[in-house]
Amino acid sequence: MTDCLFCKIIAGEIPSAKVYEDDKVFAFRDINPQAPTHILVVPKNHIASANDITESNADAAAACFTAIPKIAAAEGLTEGYRVINNCGAAAGQTVMHLHFHLIGGCTLGEKIV
């Protein structure tokens, strides 16, 4: 998608601090980290949000979740981490390209659920 920030990052048109890439997944450091480790794990295919996952594109979302343990291990997150998805504007999603926040590197604060 031409007007999507994360599609541009995946394409290398906008620089990012990449930490992981495979054929379906791209992961890079959040520009405004909320913890010592704060990585955005995104499918290379443009999927607008978790609400747009279907049987035909679910492999891209699943690939994010098989990448996450590899990234966590590479980052040394042996004590645990949090994976967050904000789905839709009311949930605080600001970039409309599906992404999972991988957050760790410290004792994490208050839980919502």
**Looking at the annotation, which residues are catalytic?**
99
In this structure, what DSSP letter does residue 8 have? H
CB-CB contact of 51 with 98 (8 Å): no
Task: Decide: is 83 part of the binding site for ligand 5GP (CB under 6 A).
Answer: no
CB-CB contact of 28 with 18 (8 Å): yes
Among 2, 78, 94, 107, binds ligand 5GP (CB under 6 A): 94
Question: In the complex with Zn ion, which residue's Cβ is closer, 39 or 47?
Answer: 47
Question: In the complex with Zn ion, which residue's Cβ is closer, 38 or 46?
Answer: 46
List, in order, residues 6 or more apart from 108 with CB less than 8 Å away: 35, 80, 81, 82
Among 80, 92, 111, 113, binds ligand 5GP (CB under 6 A): 92
Residues that bind Zn ion (CB under 5 A): 1, 4, 6-7, 46, 97
